[in-house]
Copies of this chain bind each other. A is one copy, B any other.
Amino acid sequence: MQVTTSTTTVAVAGASGYAGGELLRLLLGHPHVEIGAVTAAGNAGTPLGAHQPHLVPLADRVLAPTDAETLAGHDVVFLALPHGASAEIAATLSDETLVIDCGADFRLDDADEWASFYGGDHAGTWPYGLPELPGQRAKLQNATRIAVPGCFPTASTLALLPAVSAGLVTDDITVVAATGTSGAGRGLKAHLLGSEVMGQLSSYGVGGVHRHTPEIEQNLRATGAAAPRVSFTPVLAPTARGILATCTAPIADGVTAADVRTAYEKAYASEPFVHLLPEGTWPQTQATIGANAVHVQATVDDRVGRLVAISAEDNLAKGTAGGAIQSMNIALGLPEQAGLTTVGLAP
């Protein structure tokens, strides 16, 4: 689907939500695209500026309905829709159109795992938009359908990938990931009210039931793990953006911290959006806000025989919209870094 960059038109479905807003924020700074339709469900008919006051150049755009007619005719369509809504609208779009789904519908390979974690029928599997996985860039080139990874899987996978792919750890993995509230979306739920969130640390999806669990395991299998078992627990923290994933895994016999360092340096030496921190320095989410960046560090806890690997990302940026655009760039044959930055906004 190689296109001439001057004519790439993109539509964003779900433009009044957080993922949709972040897609538009980044696309406004992308040198090779033109923003076409911006659509919504309940908010259709209202100006985008009423929902996304930070997107000043698009303030007067009126949200169109999310339907086949509106989305037709674009080179790229981003879907930032509630769970389960992508398949139907995607089916209406031309095979020539690059459709990038920020939802979960097309992420999992295994229909049984889908049924177990999401329930209902499996919509299918699209090329998975995590270019840092082994061999994945080739699968994304010229793709016309892409499933954007979940925010936790991106952070967790990139924290563990070098250790797993080098065979430095075994499969009893734990991930505890603190996340900002924007990952839960803009729906009105009592536990997401500012008064409930500020000054608060809380757990949810505990006990192996969070839907991102099989996706993390799928990624680790793609990285070389034979039968990874991931104990995954998310923690809700009082910030709008940011994920900090703390991952541990049993270290293989004889593996040292130096071996780990070498593996991480090698794995990420030429990855444009993964930043291995200097030794002794640990990730901070602030450094990644607004950037298409994952910051990573790892060490070995010799006393207990575990690798500890930690990553930080902006869940809306590299964790969703930035990752989506990175995959778009690859699919369209654009420079992978077009419209993306590794520079975060801090403090």
Q: What residues make up the interface of A, taking CB atoms closer than 8 Å to B?
A: 18, 21, 25, 28-29, 47, 49-50, 52-57, 59, 172, 174, 176, 178, 180-182, 186, 188-190, 192-204, 206-208, 213, 229-231, 233, 235, 237-244, 246, 248, 250, 275, 277-278, 281-291, 293, 295, 297, 299-306, 308, 310, 312, 341-347
User: Are A199 and B283 neighbours in the complex by a CB distance under 8 Å?
Assistant: no
Across the interface, do A286 and B347 meet the contact criterion of CB distance under 8 Å?
no
29 example contacts (A-B, Cβ-Cβ < 8 A) are as follows: A25-B343, A29-B341, A53-B287, A54-B286, A54-B288, A54-B291, A54-B346, A56-B287, A56-B291, A57-B342, A57-B343, A172-B304, A174-B248, A176-B233, A192-B194, A194-B196, A194-B238, A196-B286, A199-B199, A199-B347, A201-B239, A201-B242, A201-B284, A202-B282, A202-B286, A207-B300, A233-B248, A237-B237, A238-B238
- Check A343–B54 contact: CB distance below 8 A: yes
CA distance A243 to B199 in the complex (A): 11
In the bound complex, CA of A244 to CA of B178 (Å): 11
Chain B residue contacts of A310, Cβ below 8 A: 203, 206, 233
Task: Indicate how many identical chains form the complex.
Answer: 4
Contacts of A197 in B (CB 8 A): 194, 197-198
Complex Cα distance, B222 from A238, in Å, reads 35
Q: Is the CB of B28 within 8 A of A343?
A: yes
B194 and A344: CB pair below 8 A? no
**What chain B residues lie within 8 Å of A49 (beta carbons)?**
278, 281
Residue of B nearest to A342 (CB): B56
State which of B172, B181, B244 has its C-beta within 8 Å of the C-beta of A193.
B181
Contact B206 A233 (CB under 8 A): no
Q: Which residues on the B side are within 8 Å of A297 (C-beta)?
A: 203, 206
Residue of B nearest to A288 (CB): B54
Do the beta carbons of B25 and A208 come within 8 Å of each other?
no
A347–B182 touching, CB < 8 Å: yes
Question: Who on chain B is nearest to A176 by CB?
Answer: B176
Cβ-closest 7 pairs across A and B: A194-B197, A54-B344, A208-B301, A176-B176, A201-B244, A188-B188, A53-B287
Knowing A246-B176, A345-B290 touch, does A195 contact B240 (C-beta < 8 A)?
yes
Residues from chain B with Cβ under 8 Å of A231 in the complex: 248, 301, 304, 306, 308
Closest to A58 in B: B343
How far is the CB of A52 from the nearest CB of chain B, in Å?
7
B57 in contact with A200 (CB, 8 Å): no
Question: Would A308 and B240 be within 8 Å (CB), given that A53-B284, A54-B287 are in contact?
Answer: no
Q: Are B178 and A186 in contact (CB under 8 A)?
A: no
